[in-house]
Amino acid sequence: MRKLTLSIAAATLATTGLAGVAYAAPGMMSKGGDTTRAEAAAKADAMFAKMDVNGDGKIDQADRAAKKARMFDRMDADKSGSVSKEEFAAAGKKKGGPDGEMRGERRSKHGDRMGKRGHRGGGMAMMKMADTNKDGAISKAEFQTAALKRFDAADANKDGTVTAAERKAAHDAMKAKWQQMRAQKQAQKPAAPATN
């Protein structure tokens, strides 16, 4: 039986790391009804606590490694120190996806794994923006500030509540921005040489 080593499994699981769950713009707000600024702040605190896996008061690479280790331990059903292809597939099916894909995971048209909302790297970019002092870690204050900044941007009429319509408008604006950035990045790539 072919076994995956810890490092291979960890690399495979990187797509479900902290960045993927981190920062959907109005994602810290209620999916259905209105959300107040205080509710958004409370959800940001809860999300920070969840992402601060090792409880040291900041989100950094150590938390990402701890999350991967926990995921590996859950997948290693027989506790052998390695994850077999069967264990990996079983973990994916348990999460609701076929063939070892995690629930909510998508693939791009090129087959790349993408986050639940279909972004590659969007969460990581937002994490970097939240790290205002550029120390490689996000403190609770930085996390809260970034979350409330996104809330305030979504609160179009500045009444302290984000409605479903405002949330959709913010989501659409973010989607358009990501598409524009992707198009600019594609335009900057050098053209492939013509083949005869």
Question: pLDDT digits over 84-141, tens only?
Answer: 888 888 887 776 555 444 444 444 444 444 444 444 445 667 778 888 999 989 999 9
Q: Which residue has the higher pLDDT, 63 or 97?
A: 63
3-state secondary structure the chain: CCEECHHHHHHHHHHHCHHHHHCCHHHHCCCCCCEEHHHHHHHHHHHHHHHCCCCCCEECHHHHHHHHHHHHHHHCCCCCCCEEHHHHHHHHHHCCCHHHCCCCCEECCCCCEECCCCCCCHHHHHHHHHCCCCCCCEEHHHHHHHHHHHHHHHCCCCCCEECHHHHHHHHHHHHHHHHHHHHHHHHHCCCCCCCC
Give me the pLDDT at residue 196, please. Answer: 62
Give the Cα separation of 15 and 112 in Å (integer).
10
Question: pLDDT digits over 126-143, tens only?
Answer: 778 888 999 989 999 999
In the chain, what are the domain boundaries? 3-159
Give me the pLDDT at residue 190, please. Answer: 82
Q: Per-residue pLDDT for 3 more than 50? A: no
Q: Which residue has the higher pLDDT, 24 or 185?
A: 185
Mean residue pLDDT of the chain comes to 75
Give me the pLDDT at residue 5, please. Answer: 41
In this prediction, what percent of the chain has a pLDDT beyond 70?
A: 66
Question: pLDDT digits over 22-55, tens only?
Answer: 333 345 555 668 999 999 999 999 999 999 999 9
Q: pTM for this structure?
A: 0.61
Give me the pLDDT at residue 96, please. Answer: 58
